[in-house]
Amino acid sequence: MEHFFTMETLWNLAAIVFIDLILAGDNALVIGMAARNLPRGQQKRAIFWGTFGAIFIRAVSTLVVVWLLRIPALMITGGVLLLWIAYKLIVEEKQHEVDAPSGLGAAIRTIVVADGVMGIDNVMGIAGVAHGNMLLVLIGIGITIPIIIWGSTVFIKLIERYPWLIYAGGGILAWTAGGMISGDSLLTGHVAVTSAMKWGVQLVLTVGLLGVAWRQKQTG
């Protein structure tokens, strides 16, 4: 267990929590909107059980993706997808429209389904950072659960006040994507990828993506 608490692992854990917060803020709004028509006494139950179900599905999905990313070429595919997610995170203005059911069971189902659809970016980001470490995935999600349930709205306000947090989140995703692409076994099996080469790929992709996204944001 002492080998778990290395600087690299702690950095990856912090990155998982930060990515989940950045990408889960909109999910928190959807959760609130899905429960808004319920009586006050049922709202907390819908949010709790809906979030619990959504987190369970997300955890299982992430573990499956972590395992799948061991297959040659899928790391490259996942990295490219993560770059697109990072770009959309910075550039797109998200809409939060969701039906608000009047029944507790329907509200819980709406929360679980909506979060499952919206949580694809979370799953890819966390799986990329984890580098196959299942325990890291579970700890990161465990830390984030109470924050998503009780504190995501506060984090959303922070993002609105400090827009650079979105760029930081996009940068972490792009850096992670670079590591996924340069670390794919399809590539490393034919080319001796050094640490300097890996960092170079990550730096070029991160700076390039942030530059393109910033320019698009200014002109769009």
Instruction: Identify the residue with better confidence: 160 or 90.
Output: 90
What is the dihedral angle through the alpha carbons of 144, 145, 150, 155, rounded to the nearest 10 degrees? 30
pLDDT at 208: 95
- Residue 203 confidence class, pLDDT cut points 50, 70, 90: very high
Distance (Å, whole) CA 186 – CA 70: 10
Helix (H) or strand (E) holding 21: helix 7-34
* Within-domain flag for 153: yes
Confidence of residue 205 (pLDDT cuts 50, 70, 90): very high
Task: Provide the pLDDT for residue 154.
Answer: 65
Distance of alpha carbon 105 from alpha carbon 125, whole angstroms: 30
Number of domains in the chain: 1
Domain assignment present for 115: yes
Asked, for residue 144, whether it belongs to a domain, the answer is yes
Least reliable range by pLDDT among 7-21, 86-100, 178-192: 86-100
Q: Do the Cβ atoms of 201 and 182 come closer than 8 Å?
A: yes
pLDDT of residue 108: 74
Q: How many residues does the chain have?
A: 220
Distance of CA 52 to the CA centre of its chain: 17
Q: What is the mean pLDDT of residues 170-195?
A: 81
Output the six-digit token pair for 113.
């389904």
The Cα 148–Cα 56 span in angstroms is: 13
In a domain, residue 95? The reply is yes
Residue 67 resides in a domain: yes
Residue with the bigger pLDDT between 137 and 212: it is 212
Do the domain assignments include residue 2? no
Q: State the residue range of the domain holding 99.
A: 7-219
Confidence at 77, pLDDT banded by 50, 70, 90:
confident
Q: Check whether 35 has a pLDDT greater than 60.
A: yes
Question: Does residue 1 sit within a domain?
Answer: no
* pLDDT at 201 exceeding the cut of 70: yes
The most confident of the ranges 4-8, 21-25, 124-128 is 124-128
Is residue 158 a part of any domain in this protein? yes
